[in-house]
Amino acid sequence: MEEKVSYKEQLLSDFELYLFHEGTLYESYKTLGAHPISYEGAEGVRFAIWAPNAKKVSVVGDFNDWDGRLHEMKRVSQSGIWVLFVPGLCCGNIYKYEIHTPYNQTVLKADPFAFYSEIRPQTASVVHRLDQYQWNDGKWMNQKKKKDVYHNSMLIYEMHMGSWKKKDDGEFYTYTELADEVIDYVAEHGYTHIELMPIMEHPYDRSWGYQITGYYAVTSRYGTPEEFMYFVDRCHQRGIGVILDWVPVHFCKDAHGLGRFDGTPLYEPIDPEQAERPIWGTYNFDFSKPEVVSFLISNAMFWMDMYHIDGFRVDAVSSMIYLNHDRGDGRTLTNAYGGIENLEAIAFIKKLNEVIFRQYPDALMIAEEATAWPLVTAPTYDGGLGFNYKWNMGWCNDILRYMQLNTDERRHHHNLLTFSLYYAFSENFILPFSHDELVYGKKSLLNKMPGDFEQKFANLRLLYTFFMTHPGKKLLFMGSEFGQFDEWKDETELDWNLFDFETHRQFFYFTKTFNQFYKRTRNLWRLDHEPGGFEWIDPNNAGQSIISFIRKGKRKGDYCIIICNFSEDAFQHFRIGVPSSGYYTEIFNSDDISFGGAGIVNKEPCKVEKIPYHNQPYSMEIKVPRLSAIIFKKTTKRHRGVQA
């Protein structure tokens, strides 16, 4: 008995076990899993796993010919934790857990806390340590602590690492190779962040990482953990933040994964109806179990701690907070009070955000939440969920529905343009043109646009300008920056051959130019989340399908005027109300010839007349091209402005 206690105490502390079972061991990856250590003078690996209902657990692998009789683990009292130190093992050893279930079955499971895994289709875990990489991003890590994200530009490039580019033989680029290819491209194009679709270990390529088996293992498809660290490091050195898609709602049922881990529902709820996610063929996490809470919050902390990740886009939040959202089987589940909210998931989300922001106040916690749930980005102490950003999926759906209309129909659906401003400041929003909108027959942004080839590009330039001038931070999916014509095809690379065509090169130049213009034009983002940063000039011109508005900065007089013409009519003498006298200079025009437009621009500064219009004390006449957006800035001198 004394020997067992001594063994346990030297490998796992009672305090760590207490916190894990309480749901507050937020660095559980340092306790559980496989860790090279020195024990009683020997070098080896300590294994620890949570399997409370198992009859017996063994470590099996390449070191014992996968024979479960040779390395049986010891159960730590009644905690459900099994532990074993195996001398002589080191990084690179391959292993799994052989678990004998309460039903006299034997299953082989990968380590839920493994830092590395075999390359699919192999499924074993690999002993690995993550403390060998020498980081060189100290400047970024220090500066971001001082940065006010709410009052700064944010332009996110969403990418899928497996299909941005591929080698000639169809193989994936490694993290290192992608770092040398994509980071300069993204930085030079003006993006502030890269958002990666999930890079946690997953068995099926075409799940895009959204059905995970290894939450702590960066996928070996693209290389080693150190190579991914290099990718993040290089991003930070170029001034680019890194956001990860993170999936705490559900996990896949593959035999080596988390499902029925010890032969019983462990990470998933005991109730089969609560456990199943029929539409995706997956299991939901059981947020009522403190150990699952420790596992998931530790996982978020892990990526920020070990990989210097700057934040998460939390997938499918609506499916977490509502019991029946995206179930797919027509059943209606209720909570203990008869409601349809998942009370345990809501408590988990609040706890997650509290813990993250306590440790990482500069983190980005972005909710992909598709309903009208209130206060998603409000602090938990004010009754909110505690995120600091939310995807504005309502705006995205409305504007894409509007843009796909034939131009002569748009005047009948003008509210789709303007409705978002009723709620634009109710949350801290990110406007997402994400992968969700560009797959499975939904068409690319360019191909959603109506009209002939020229009109499609004109519409897309107009859409992009409205997107970039509308309140809220921005996210664009890869390929959209050069007008990818086909929808995203996850099994092939982007259509880089489109750069052979002048129209696509011109559109690429347009987005690159506008991105840089956006970053240096403070009034387009300084007050993104405050009503004082926006003012309508005329939201009601449905007959001509034109809207006009003002974006304001913090300083008095720091503003610009935006006019968006969604019709095919051009206007040579269009009158618009303005707030002050003098001259206004056109500083951006999506119809510029260099962008592929017709070149109808306001070459000379526009003189203001003392004619009240649009509830403004002054007005001016301007040229407004068809299917275009133009931006004006007040100037004190009568001279031609510089085209951005």
Report the C-alpha gap between 606 and 584 in whole angstroms.
5
With tokens 């680029």, the residue in question is 173
| Both structure tokens of 601 | 């621009």
129, 91 contact by CB (below 8 A)? yes
Which strands, in side-by-side order, build the sheet including 628-635?
A: 534-541, 546-552, 559-565, 628-635, 583-589, 606-607
Report the C-alpha gap between 257 and 575 in whole angstroms.
64
Contacts of 56 (CB under 8 A, 6+ apart): 72, 99, 100
CA atoms within 13 A on the CB side of 131: 4
Report the C-alpha gap between 518 and 199 in whole angstroms.
30
154, 529 contact by CB (below 8 A)? no
**Could you give the 3-state DSSP secondary structure of residue 543?**
coil
Q: What is the CA radius of gyration of the chain?
A: 27
| Both structure tokens of 29 | 């990856």
| Both structure tokens of 406 | 């034939």
How many CB atoms are closer than 10 A to CB 447? 16
| Both structure tokens of 644 | 């951005």
250, 277 contact by CB (below 8 A)? yes
Known catalytic membership, residue 558: no
Q: What is the DSSP string of 276-296?
A: EETTTTEEE--TTSHHHHHHH
Residue tagged active-site, from 98, 158, 368, 437: 368
Q: Which helix (H) or strand (E) holds 355?
A: helix 343-359
**CA torsion angle 211 213 214 220 (round to 10):** -80
The pairing of strands 81-87 and 74-76 is antiparallel
φ and ψ of 58, to 5 deg = -130, 155
Report the C-alpha gap between 627 and 637 in whole angstroms.
30
Quickly list H helices, 222-271.
225-237
500 dihedral zone (left: phi>0; alpha: psi -120 to 50; beta):
alpha
276, 227 contact by CB (below 8 A)? no
Task: List, as own/partner pairs, every contact residues 400-408 make where C-beta atoms lie below 8 angstroms and the sequence separation is at least 24, other chains included.
Answer: 400/437, 400/448, 402/566, 403/448, 403/449, 403/450, 403/459, 403/463, 403/566, 404/448, 404/449, 404/450, 405/450, 406/450, 407/450, 407/451, 407/545, 407/566, 407/567, 407/568, 407/627
Known catalytic membership, residue 315: yes
The Cα angle at residue 145 between residues 140 and 147, in degrees rounded to 5: 90
Active-site amino acid positions: 315, 368
